[in-house]
Structure 1
């Protein structure tokens, strides 16, 4: 896999988080224009994302392993790595399907605000704990402060209008979703596999896991077919293929906890889209929460760059 600098890794993760912020709006449009249920939307997201990355692989060689020596010396190593790589892709795909489905279940039980703040808020905490125990990543006082600021900003941004219908089941689903996302982050932080190949395989596995439920909900969109498939194409390209590919690439250079906190930019992007495109008001809670989140991301980014090894 090509070496990625810390600066580029931070940029990739930030772009991925920004792109994810548009996924909710695209999914809502697909639900309105095509009448699809949430699991069916996730299925088409994974299916379209896999198709986009496979097309990029055929046209541009994206995600193909690049030989570093004679084929005769590489083949045994590739065969030895095939099992662990397939296992990583399988676990990634199942975890992606789990956290997508669990998040929708949390929304159904507790509403969007509670589901969002618990799911996205618990993720950096779980990643920080897992990174310390499994990867030996030390967060430090500044990192802990940034995580605290980020969680405060997320709570202000998401819960500015108060807690909706609190439900223990909803919180449980949200925590399961956070655990799945944290697992994907930690697993691929420790990986040296080609990131776009991992993303493609994860989309295929995740789509197959969601297919039975999506089929039961109604797989094909109704209504305006041109509008529905245009949204599917966007959903598969930008917040899925591009975002996950860049996120997995950035994880090669950025600590897992830093990547998880930067991902909190996603609700900020969603809030901005809501104001610009959907006519939502810019409330003091939205402004304050966004400033806190972006400040925490900037603090961690500066800390990450300051700890990067100096080239010699």
Structure 2
């Protein structure tokens, strides 16, 4: 990987890791739906600006259905679920569970695309589930209904990301990646807008009591959309173009680490043995499923076969 792309990968991991911090700040003030709507709106504006700068077209008539499905499954629903989970579980929990998306993508690939699901991949998936179980059992948060519901919401969000990855491969729309990113954000905004209006009318957000907290909460939503969505998507698709999807997806290793560090620095969230053990197992599981980490036993067999 080129040095410039290594820098992009590190920046992307840091940005997406920070997104969970911003959700933890914004969601208590504005609620999950408004937080998600603000994120996709600001992110969409950045991506539209990048489209115009690159003279690219959305080709909405041709790709409208594709944008709507991706906007719903890959953006509106998981963003809302993670924003809701941010009300009850630490940032590290959300980031570690989010990192399981490649595992669910492998499962959907086996079911929908008849891709091979080897014993190593199955073991990786089981290892990831064990990692989350350890995180829940001996992590910093108390196990109660709120915690378990937040974890369930995060798991469903990761499942959405996994399915979306397979859907994109199934449809294989010939649109520039930047157009797909922008179109899906616009579609997500259109989907969330009426819901945000209804939620705001029925249950108005509880604005922070001081100017500092207000600026902090509003700033979190703006940064969540501009940096963690708009700029991050642009970096991600540049990585895919330069290095390929298999290398770009290794950012999944960095997100839990970055989120845990950011949360410890800015939200005073404790890093416990449960956090580290759960994160380590999930990261190893991702490596096994993606084929980036190989089991020693398989290497030993291959050497024996060569000797024979």
**What is the TM-score of this pair, normalised by structure 2?**
0.69
2:176 to 171, 186, 194: 194
Deviations 1:98-151 (A, max 9, x none): 23334455677xx437x8499648744432122123345435344334444343
- More divergent stretch after superposition (35-44 vs 278-287): 278-287
Residue aligned with 1:263, SS: helix
How far has the Cα of 1:288 moved from its partner?
2.3
Residue 292 (str. 1) matches residue 272 (str. 2): no
Residues 11-50 of structure 1 mapped to structure 2, 5 A cutoff: 16-31=12-27, 35-50=29-44
Q: For 2:275 and 2:152, locate their aligned partners in 1 and report how far apart those are by CA, in whole Å.
A: 26
Residue 153 (str. 1) matches residue 138 (str. 2): no
2:157 to 171, 174, 177: 177
Residue 270 (str. 1) matches residue 259 (str. 2): yes
Deviations 1:43-94 (A, max 9, x none): 1100000111122233x317x26xxxxxxxxxxxx98x952x2211111112
Q: Does the CA contact (< 8 Å) of 1:14 and 1:265 recur in 2?
A: yes
Question: Does the C-alpha gap of structure 1 residues 210 and 187 become closer, same or farther in structure 2, counting only changes over 3 Å?
Answer: same
1:134 to 112, 116, 123: 112
Q: For 2:166 and 2:266, locate their aligned partners in 1 and report how far apart those are by CA, in whole Å.
A: 34
**How many residue pairs end up in the alignment?**
278
Give the match for residue 281 of structure 1.
270
Q: For 1:107 and 1:227, locate their aligned partners in 2 and report how far apart those are by CA, in whole Å.
A: 16
Question: Does the C-alpha gap of structure 1 residues 20 and 102 become closer, same or farther in structure 2, counting only changes over 3 Å?
Answer: same
Question: Does the C-alpha gap of structure 1 residues 303 and 136 become closer, same or farther in structure 2, counting only changes over 3 Å?
Answer: farther
How far has the Cα of 1:18 moved from its partner?
4.2
RMSD: 4.3
Runs of 5+ consecutive residues of structure 2 not aligned to the other structure: 295-308
Residues 1-312 of structure 1 mapped to structure 2, 5 A cutoff: 16-31=12-27, 35-58=29-52, 60-61=53-54, 64=56, 82-83=61-62, 85-95=63-73, 96-104=75-83, 111-112=88-89, 116=94, 120=98, 123-161=101-139, 164-166=143-145, 176-190=156-170, 191=172, 192-215=174-197, 216-217=199-200, 218=204, 224=211, 226-247=215-236, 253-254=244-245, 259=249, 263=252, 265-298=254-287, 300=290, 302=292
Q: Does the CA contact (< 8 Å) of 2:78 and 2:160 recur in 1?
A: yes
Q: For 1:274 and 1:172, locate their aligned partners in 2 and report how far apart those are by CA, in whole Å.
A: 21
Runs of 5+ consecutive residues of structure 1 not aligned to the other structure: 66-77, 305-312
Q: For 1:206 and 1:296, locate their aligned partners in 2 and report how far apart those are by CA, in whole Å.
A: 30
Q: For 2:255 and 2:136, locate their aligned partners in 1 and report how far apart those are by CA, in whole Å.
A: 12
Question: Does the C-alpha gap of structure 1 residues 18 and 134 become closer, same or farther in structure 2, counting only changes over 3 Å?
Answer: farther
Q: Does the CA contact (< 8 Å) of 2:95 and 2:255 recur in 1?
A: no
How far has the Cα of 1:234 moved from its partner?
1.6
- More divergent stretch after superposition (247-256 vs 261-270): 247-256
